[in-house]
Structure 1
Amino acid sequence: MALQKENILIVDDDIDILELLQRHLKSMDYHTYKAVSVKEALYILKDTYIDLLITDIQMPEVDGLQLVKFANEHYPEMPKLVVTGYPSVDGALEVMKSGVIDYLSKPFTKDELKKSIEKAFKQGPQSQKKKPILPHVVNNNQTEMVGASEAFSAVTNIIERVKDNKATVIIKGESGTGKELVARSIHYSGKFSRAPFIAVNCGAIPENLQEAELFGYMKGAFTGANENRNGFFQAAQGGTLFLDEIGTASLAVQTKLLRALQEKEITKVGSQKAEKVDIRIIAATNADLLEDIKNKNFREDLYYRLTVVEITVPPLRERKSDIPLLVEKFLRKYGVEYKDRLLRMSLEALQVLERYHWPGNIRELENIVQRAVIMSDGLIDVKDLPDFLKFQIEFPQNGFLTLKAMEKEYVQRVLEHTKGNKTKAAKILQIDRKTLRDKLN
């Protein structure tokens, strides 16, 4: 059974030190989070379960000692280490009095860091109590789902009910809605979280290889089978096997999946011996499987075996109140990755995002925020968004506009954007100035 890695948050305004610490910690098999300021560290602590805090002391604006004091108040059972490039006797005494386990002076060796971490986990609490999860966050060490809408709450309520059992689950929803995140949340928030989670995109496996990849094969079973090999079912033993795009599985594989669900056993390609498996199956699809059943492309008996519990993930257009929270999450992610700091978005830009209908759902929103972070030099504003978002027309709730009225509103909106500059407006509209003048008349 795979052991869950400890989460360590490292805080330092020196990027080189952060990178060095991260390399050392990864080589020790820890999972790391980085923050270049106390402010950024607070965002991570708010939404992430952290096993150990390692922080510098001398930092701009708010220093590391204030972070330690904050952590003592809000996460008293989380062990803390301090590193500093400005050691002093008085400073060390003050830090140790604040409740940290150890105090390291820069430069330090990897072995010194390792000993301090081991000391922290040994002297700190053996099992840290997990902090209460905020209403708008479903968070754990492997995934983070964010939302506050009723549609989002309906999904998280089902996750809470199924996380501690191995009932088969099917997740339905449009592409980009976060179906794999839901599957990961079911697995990692429950009592089987230390067991493997294996994600398989059935649509990415050629049809003639699906059976061998899922169930494994014996040496000589087919050309190229030069050794005995386990499949994804064996890899997920004791844990969860997530089958994405289940509708693309071949009929032959569907028959074997049905047997695996009914009998809790599988047979490798080229073998006559059945093997018992103890796993939870979570399947996902953006296709209409009932229509596939009518067209004889999907087995009806397998469909009902898979739908013990059904979760429908709503499209983003049906949970627009979650957009600000999702934007905050992606700004934190890409701001740190690309700009080494937290970025913010203007209210006007956020309103533009809330008006859009999001055919690509959360994946499209993430891509647009990622692009905006790259294009922006500071506060992300409307100018940093793609042009197709800037000039949207918001239809009234009680009906549709006529084509003429829609054109008029659009031209007016473009003119407002250009502050009455007809040359710029004509360029955006891709018409000449005479045509624009005729339309205005």
Structure 2
Amino acid sequence: MTKTGDSSCPRVLIVEDDAGLCESLAAALRELSFEVETAPDGLQAVQKIKESVYDILLTDLRLPGLNGEEVLRQAKALYPDLIVMVSTGYGDLRNAVNMMKLGAADYIQKPFLKDELIVRIEKAIEERKWRWQSRAAREQTNGSEWGDLIGKGPAMARVKELAAGVGPMRTTVLIQGETGTGKELVARAIHHGSPRKDYPLVSVNCAAIPATLMEDEFFGHEKGAFTDAQQVRVGRFEQANRGTLFLDEIGTMPLDLQGKLLRVLQERECQRIGGTQTIRLDVRIIAATNTKLDERVQSGAFREDLYYRLNVFPIFLPSLRERREDIPLLAAHLLQKICAGEGLAQKQIAQEALKGLVAYEWPGNVRQLENALEMALILGAEREYLLPEDFPAICRRPASSESLPRVEIPEEGADFNLLVSRFEKALILEGLRRSDGKRSRAAVLLNMKRTTLLEKLKKLQAAAL
């Protein structure tokens, strides 16, 4: 194995009660630029694993304190991607095979050559990298290294230039843009263009986590830290160690947690809830927001010191209406992706419909465009081309007096609520007829949520009783 730079040196914990063998293995691995720590028994090994994050655990099967199997169980519960190698004596082969079933990557029988162990470690590291790369490839959309971040206009060209430039650095990045502009796609591109690309990219949507659970989500907890803490839980910071942590909607983070996040960014270490051990961290932070953080700083809703810690390298994502020239290319890409995902024949967008898409304001940006295309595919049915009527919320024709139903109000007046309810019922029944009774498609035809349609059907059925 060739020597690597400090930022990518694998960290190894050797658990071996034979002091001579332990030191010999540690020296051999340190010569190859591994960062090595040792433990003489299972209890100390588990303690070290709780205090720090390792890439490789090399453990003997027979150990004082806790045996190798229990060390494996506890280590894998904390870090599922940890590479565990088991060394075993001649009579322990059956137990070694059982360790493989519990998640060990490999076992090696004593006595063994150091070179053989190093070859097996190298193979296990490569296999883990392959798993991570496969996982990342599944998360990324097909098409290009930029996934769905499609666009050749000057605004997107600048975004890609900035992302490519900052990727190889450790610099903290703050991505700013409206909802649906693709902030996570930019974060992914930065991660995959960095030396950390073979390590996890962990995403956290700060707006989706209740304030009472946010600290536990970020830092984890020790067993017994609170009533429901039945076992140790690893937080997102530890999960992202050696990799990247993407903090989406950072502007929604409560003030008390902002202070704790600031400390982690400054000290590069954290503690689990209920714990006393300090855990060292090597995590790159990419944050994103759809709000103006400087304004939130002025209003006192966001800490100024944290803002400056995050805003080291800002990237501003343009809205879709600010880069209309990219809409034809982007729409074609998204349509191809949706058709491939649904197993449908590829379709095209008619020029008249495309004009409507380019002219629309897109308050929901790329996410709204993708939703509109998915709806159009359903409405377009078997047609090869998607027409303006397949985009009812986007390509609206100007209303005319001929398009409005003729209404006459009698001299004695009209029951407004009764007439509206009758018209609503007629619309729903016609939608169900047109969709052959399929409620999901009827909801699409009526441009309403399926849950709303179901609620209205319940009311109609109750009124008929």
Identify the TM-score tier after normalising by the shorter chain: 0.5 to 0.7
The question of whether the paired residues in 1 share the 8 Å contact of 2:357 and 2:394 is answered with: no
AA in 2 matched with 1:162: V
Map 1:368-407 onto structure 2 (within 5 A): 368-376=372-380, 377=382, 378-391=384-397
1:184 aligns with: 188
Distance in 1 between residues matched to 2:260 and 2:153, nearest whole Å: 39
Map 1:285-300 onto structure 2 (within 5 A): 285-300=289-304
Distance in 1 between residues matched to 2:218 and 2:317, nearest whole Å: 26
| Post-superposition offset of 1:239 | 0.7
Q: 1:431 to 1:187 in 2, by over 3 A?
A: farther
AA in 1 matched with 2:390: D
Out of 221, 235, 238, the residue aligned to residue 239 of structure 2 is 235
1:152 aligns with: 156
2:324 aligns with: 320
2:446 aligns with: none
TM-score, normalized by length of structure 1? 0.58
The question of whether the paired residues in 2 share the 8 Å contact of 1:147 and 1:326 is answered with: yes
| Post-superposition offset of 1:143 | 3.4
Render the CA deviation track for 1:64-116: whole Å, top value 9, x for unaligned.
xxxxxxxxxxxxxxxxxxxxxxxxxxxxxxxxxxxxxxxxxxxxxxxxxxxxx
| Post-superposition offset of 1:340 | 2.5
SS in 1 for 2:163: helix
Q: Which runs of 5+ in 2 are unaligned?
A: 1-7, 9-141, 409-465
Distance in 2 between residues matched to 1:382 and 1:305, nearest whole Å: 47
Q: 1:390 to 1:227 in 2, by over 3 A?
A: same
| Post-superposition offset of 1:383 | 2.1
TM-score, normalized by length of structure 2? 0.55
1:426 aligns with: 402
| Post-superposition offset of 1:388 | 4.7
2:23 aligns with: none
Distance in 2 between residues matched to 1:318 and 1:309, nearest whole Å: 22
Q: 1:270 to 1:253 in 2, by over 3 A?
A: same
The higher radius of gyration belongs to 2
The question of whether the paired residues in 2 share the 8 Å contact of 1:426 and 1:432 is answered with: no
Distance in 2 between residues matched to 1:200 and 1:266, nearest whole Å: 17
Render the CA deviation track for 1:377-425: whole Å, top value 9, x for unaligned.
221111211155222xxxxxxxxxxxxxxxxxx45xx5xxxxxxxxxx6
Distance in 2 between residues matched to 1:426 and 1:217, nearest whole Å: 66
SS in 2 for 1:389: coil
The question of whether the paired residues in 1 share the 8 Å contact of 2:148 and 2:334 is answered with: no
Distance in 2 between residues matched to 1:193 and 1:235, nearest whole Å: 14
| Post-superposition offset of 1:432 | 5.8
Q: What's the RMSD between the two structures over aligned residues?
A: 2.0
Q: 1:284 to 1:138 in 2, by over 3 A?
A: farther
The question of whether the paired residues in 1 share the 8 Å contact of 2:353 and 2:395 is answered with: no
Distance in 1 between residues matched to 2:143 and 2:170, nearest whole Å: 20
Q: Which runs of 5+ in 1 are unaligned?
A: 2-136, 392-409, 415-424, 434-441
Distance in 2 between residues matched to 1:339 and 1:217, nearest whole Å: 44
2:166 aligns with: 162
Render the CA deviation track for 1:204-229: whole Å, top value 9, x for unaligned.
11111111110111112122111111
Render the CA deviation track for 1:346-377: whole Å, top value 9, x for unaligned.
11110110011111111111100111112112
1:284 aligns with: 288
2:341 aligns with: 337
| Post-superposition offset of 1:430 | 5.3
AA in 2 matched with 1:166: R
| Post-superposition offset of 1:188 | 1.5
Q: Identity, % of aligned pairs?
A: 43
Q: 1:269 to 1:431 in 2, by over 3 A?
A: farther
The question of whether the paired residues in 2 share the 8 Å contact of 1:202 and 1:243 is answered with: yes
Map 1:204-219 onto structure 2 (within 5 A): 204-219=208-223
Aligned residues, how many? 266
